[in-house]
Structure 1
């Protein structure tokens, strides 16, 4: 039985994936590199250190990696006011907490962004812990962040709730199952192939069906 729920933040609790994709698109364009937005979107969920070589190759990473990440941050900062929480985010977190699970909000984002997003969902008032990019040496799809999230609350068994294929891969490498939500724009097939044990359309659907997941009430 799980004792800990680890929630991804970007794309799962708050609607950011397309802003991230467009910010990366504009960042690459600053350096005369034009990449299809759909390809960038499919890499969202990776850490920036992983994303640049994944979409543009090792040579671009070596030459421009740090500059591209700085450009992405500037572009994303200009879009952050458009970010909103997904319907039912706060209610889902409250329901999971009420069921007695330890609650960790796991993000590999920059601390200033994570603070903003946690405020949008009231996360600081309800979560037992949260993470930022400063908490793990390697970003997703490496398992480090998921492992750190579990360690922060001294959990024994966890379930991950995420929106991207990279969430499922990272959690799988940590030996943790993932419930995937389609809020990030990935297909059910992509998420299942990445290792998700279940895929739901929305946070409200997940809340309605919690008793059919590892987050069921004790005794169910």
Structure 2
């Protein structure tokens, strides 16, 4: 993906990059519960609100951001391993967010290429894809297992866009970290509230004209007001 020399507001989208956790599937608070339990089992007490604020960045960054560099250095890998084990037990609780599958199918029907850049593990993404049942609409997938640096860096977005041959993608996400990654990549972002973040938190990392909607169903109704028109 190359930067648009005219600025992304002047470009017509040729693809959509859809974040998965919190955007297409309702998993944010499952992740919060798994991370908080992992911290507690390692005698690290962190507020749930702090864990929630970090959801959307890669697990390689989350421990240090939530609990500090000393905890990351001492317990980072065991914490990530335990989070993964705990989240594995919750996969049967994954459900799509309101309107998620219909949004994906509509965007594909409009001729957009569709990519899934996910901060999750491959097996967790597989469980989400099973619930969404839209694999026939997906052109490319990338996870943090495929890149060196996770959100809020833009590596994941760049890789997904490159996989689908997109020069002018639009990201749909649910977290401030999605907005930050989109800013670094120089692409527009649409944000949904299904991740549980306030509008103020979402706007902190986004451009002033960012579109924020309740869920994929509202985005579907308002597509013509967005860069995905």
- TM-score, reference length from structure 2: 0.92
1:205 and 2:223 matched: no
Distance 1:123 1:139 in 2: 25
Look up the match of 1:53. Answer: 64
Look up the match of 2:94. Answer: 83
Q: Is the 8 A contact 1:4 1:103 kept in 2?
A: yes
Look up the match of 1:155. Answer: 166
Distance 2:134 2:179 in 1: 22
Structure 2 residue aligned with 1:140, among 141, 151, 157?
Answer: 151
Instruction: Report the CA distance between 1:133 and its aligned residue.
Output: 2.1
* Residues 127-146 of structure 1: per-residue CA shift (max 9 Å, x gap): 11111222111011111001
Size of the aligned set, in residue pairs, is 216
Instruction: Report the CA distance between 1:123 and its aligned residue.
Output: 3.1
* Residues 173-194 of structure 1: per-residue CA shift (max 9 Å, x gap): 1111110000000011211121
RMSD of the alignment, in Å? 0.9
Structure 2 residue aligned with 1:177, among 165, 169, 188?
Answer: 188
Distance 2:44 2:119 in 1: 25
Distance 2:143 2:53 in 1: 21
Q: Which structure 1 segments of 5+ residues have no match?
A: none
* Residues 135-170 of structure 1: per-residue CA shift (max 9 Å, x gap): 111011111001111001010111100000001101
Instruction: Report the CA distance between 1:32 and its aligned residue.
Output: 0.5
Q: Which structure 2 segments of 5+ residues have no match?
A: 1-11
Distance 1:8 1:147 in 2: 13
Look up the match of 1:126. Answer: 137
Distance 2:79 2:174 in 1: 24
1:34 and 2:45 matched: yes
